[in-house]
Amino acid sequence: MDFDPYQEGAAAPGPRALATDAVHAGREDLAGLGLHAPPIDLSTTYPSYDSRGEAARIDAFAADGAEPDGPPVYGRLGNPTVARFESGLARLEGTDSAVAFASGMAALTAVLLVRGAAGLRHVVAVRPLYGCSDHLLNTGLLGTEVTWTDPAGVADAVRPDTGLVMVESPANPTLAEIDLRAVVYSCGEVPLLVDNTFATPVLQRPAESGARLVLHSATKYLGGHGDVLGGVVACDEELAGPLRQVRFATGGVLHPLAGYLLLRGLSTLPVRVRAASATAAELARRLTADPRVARVHYPRIGGAMVSFEPAAGREPHEVIAAVRLITPAVSLGSVDTLIQHPASISHRIVDPADRHGSGVGDRLLRMSVGLEDVDDLWQDLDHALGPVRESVPAPRAVRGRHT
Ligand code: PLP
């Protein structure tokens, strides 16, 4: 928590390519410490013989939520291994700071609590969102009130008590994309939160378009291997302080082992995302040309997610049941390819009318493409789509804009 990558002795780098930052950000002090791999600090507490100094650091944290100077105090206040991941992710997203949480939902919860505590309980949001994010907003579980709109309706939906505008782009699971600059303009003074889980900073850096909060389910591409749950919000320091205070008070901290795995995940993020995206683009092309597929969704900015609807004659659950190499499982962003049926799983919790209204049809399948060979994946899909049927209309590719 007192980790400063630019502390004395560590030269502050000039602008570097994302691939370089992915490998080095959050690790700049290691050589000076005589280390190569980042240390994992599992301490829950830290000894201090100076209780006056510690009291002053706690007071300072209570005042503005800035990372306490000096030695760490307690694991819920901050952890040096987690701070390395935060520092690395902030660099990749191009923000001052990042605040890590136990999961993506814990991260969103903290944002909603911070804005609500400031008396700004109203949220404007664009569907589709990940099912549980939709649920959290729609139920008002945290005392917020939501107005659902489309990107063009954001300006009209904003009220004096609006504390947040929230979008996903590309959206889960339709991969609909939003013109982030246009939405930022519509937000006026209200901060825009972009869930950047699907794009990752490799394909899109929402802060460059003016988004003030960039949220990730770090469980997905940032970790990248399906073995760690985490969440993170990249933002300016003004918003980061209250997020750290809420994290401290509510306890949704990221475990240091998870922080270590996420930092390690960042180092291969650009390579993984680019390789999986190339395979996904090719699979989207083959699916689009296949008469057994009615509709394919693939974003303009690319990425490793492809959604599609089997044509009449093959039910989505039959495709799920027939895959052999691809794993039928919810979640995404791992090295192996996963497929799931949003209406049954990731978006089950959303009311069917709301689901359908935002383009999440009952026939839609969502696939997270991994790092396997493209022909092996195609062979599995080809088998899962079943025999070619007569007289089905040619598939339609859907690339692009939010409808
Ligand atoms: N945002 C998106 C786009 C997601 O897909 C998910 C989970 O699937 C979340 C947020 C929630 O993240 P977590 O499962 O880490 O709480």
Question: Separation of 247 CA from ligand 1 center, angstroms?
Answer: 18
Residue nearest atom 13 in ligand 1 by C-alpha distance: 104
Tell whether 359 is covered by a domain: yes
Question: Residue 387 belongs to what domain range?
Answer: 269-398
At 296, is the secondary structure helix, strand, or coil?
strand
Work out which ligand 1 atom sits closest to the CA atom of 107: 16
pLDDT tens digits along 46-83: 999 999 999 999 999 999 999 888 889 999 999 999 99
Q: Is 382 known to be catalytic? A: no
Count Cβ neighbours within 10 Å for each residue of 71-80 and write b for 16 or more, e otherwise. Answer: ebbbbebbbb
- Ligand 1 pocket mutation, candidates 109, 133, 345, criterion most atoms within 8 A of CB: 133
For residue 397, pLDDT beyond 80: no
Whether residue 237 contacts residue 215, with contact meaning beta carbons closer than 8 Å, is answered with no
Question: Separation of 170 CA from ligand 1 center, angstroms?
Answer: 13
For residue 342, pLDDT beyond 70: yes
Tell whether 115 is covered by a domain: no
Work out which ligand 1 atom sits closest to the CA atom of 220: 15
pLDDT of residue 393: 62
Terminal Cα distance for the chain, rounded: 43
C-alpha separations of 151 from 138, 155, 157, 187, 340 in Å: 18, 9, 10, 10, 27
Residue nearest atom 2 in ligand 1 by C-alpha distance: 130
Helix (H) or strand (E) holding 99: strand 97-101
Q: Is 74 known to be catalytic? A: no
Residue nearest atom 5 in ligand 1 by C-alpha distance: 130
Residue nearest atom 14 in ligand 1 by C-alpha distance: 104
pLDDT tens digits along 289-301: 999 999 999 999 9
- Report cis status (omega within 30 of 0) of the bond before 68: no
Residue nearest atom 4 in ligand 1 by C-alpha distance: 130
Averaged pLDDT, 306-312: 98
- The pair of three-digit structure tokens given for residue 190, joined into one six-digit string: 């209200």
Helix (H) or strand (E) holding 135: helix 131-139
Tell whether 350 is covered by a domain: yes
Choose, from 84, 220, 272, 292, the residue flagged as catalytic.
Answer: 220
Question: Separation of 180 CA from ligand 1 center, angstroms?
Answer: 20
Count Cβ neighbours within 10 Å for each residue of 224-255 and write b for 16 or more, e otherwise. Answer: bebebbbbbbbbeeebbbbbbbbbbeeebbbb
- Which residues surround ligand 1 with Cβ inside 6 Å? 103-105, 130, 132-133, 168, 172, 195, 197, 217, 219, 229, 231
Question: Separation of 216 CA from ligand 1 center, angstroms?
Answer: 7
Tell whether 92 is covered by a domain: no
What is the CATH classification number for the domain harbouring 284?
3.90.1150.10
pLDDT of residue 1: 42
pLDDT tens digits along 84-136: 999 999 999 999 999 999 999 999 999 999 999 999 999 999 999 999 999 99
Split into its structural domains, the chain has a count of 1
Q: Is 59 known to be catalytic? A: no
Question: Separation of 229 CA from ligand 1 center, angstroms?
Answer: 10
pLDDT tens digits along 150-208: 999 999 999 999 999 999 999 999 999 999 999 999 999 999 999 999 999 999 999 99
Tell whether 117 is covered by a domain: no
Percent of the chain with pLDDT over 70: 94
Question: Separation of 260 CA from ligand 1 center, angstroms?
Answer: 20
Tell whether 207 is covered by a domain: no
pLDDT of residue 6: 44
Work out which ligand 1 atom sits closest to the CA atom of 108: 10
Tell whether 79 is covered by a domain: no
Choose, from 46, 76, 150, 185, the residue flagged as catalytic.
Answer: 76
Q: Could you tell me the sign of the dihedral formed by the alpha carbons of 115, 119, 125, 129, in that order?
A: positive
pLDDT of residue 389: 81
Tell whether 90 is covered by a domain: no
Q: Is 76 known to be catalytic? A: yes
C-alpha separations of 384 from 14, 292, 339 in Å: 49, 10, 11
Amino acid identity of residue 302, one-letter, is G
pLDDT of residue 70: 87
Choose, from 41, 121, 130, 314, the residue flagged as catalytic.
Answer: 130
Question: Separation of 227 CA from ligand 1 center, angstroms?
Answer: 14
